Amino acid sequence: MNPEKVVFGFFIVLALTLNFGFFVGEIDNPDHHHVYELFAVVVVNLIATILKFGDRSQMGAVLLATSLVAIMQLIAATLVWVTAVHITQTGLTPAVTASIVSLSGGAMLANVISVILLIIETVMLRR
């Protein structure tokens, strides 16, 4: 068993599961989407992205692309949150919360694609 592959797979799957945990709930209810969970999703996705930089294959390039999409979506969601709460001080209205959750949904879709690609790559490996 390759420990590097275990860590790589762990962070890809953890990124997806954390993102799913943040995404689940009423889309416009801020009580169902906690800021620390969004923070954890961003951090784990950043770690997963960094781990993907070493792969020079075509599959590695696609995995990196999906990870970069997820990071862009999550950073946008974080910026919406910060702007609403700290800059404009409008707070987490249902519309703002729906925007944040929708952006995290896009990131979750990118994470699903990453996991599917990881599964395909694993199945295609020959011993």
Query: 7-21, pLDDT tens digit by residue?
Result: 999 999 999 999 999
Q: 121 to each of 11, 15, 86, 118, how far by Cα in Å? A: 16, 18, 43, 5
Q: What angle do CA 95, 87, 25 make, to 5 degrees?
A: 30
Distance CA 31, CA 67 (A): 27
Q: 36 to each of 22, 61, 103, 109, how far by Cα in Å? A: 9, 30, 16, 21
The answer for residues whose C-beta is within 8 angstroms of residue 68's C-beta and 6 or more apart is 49
Residue 6: the pLDDT is 92
Domain boundaries, the chain: 3-124
Query: 64-123, pLDDT tens digit by residue?
Result: 999 999 999 999 999 999 999 999 999 999 999 999 999 999 999 999 999 999 999 889
Residue 127: the pLDDT is 61
Query: 103-120, pLDDT tens digit by residue?
Result: 999 999 999 999 999 999
Whether the predicted pLDDT of 44 surpasses 80: yes
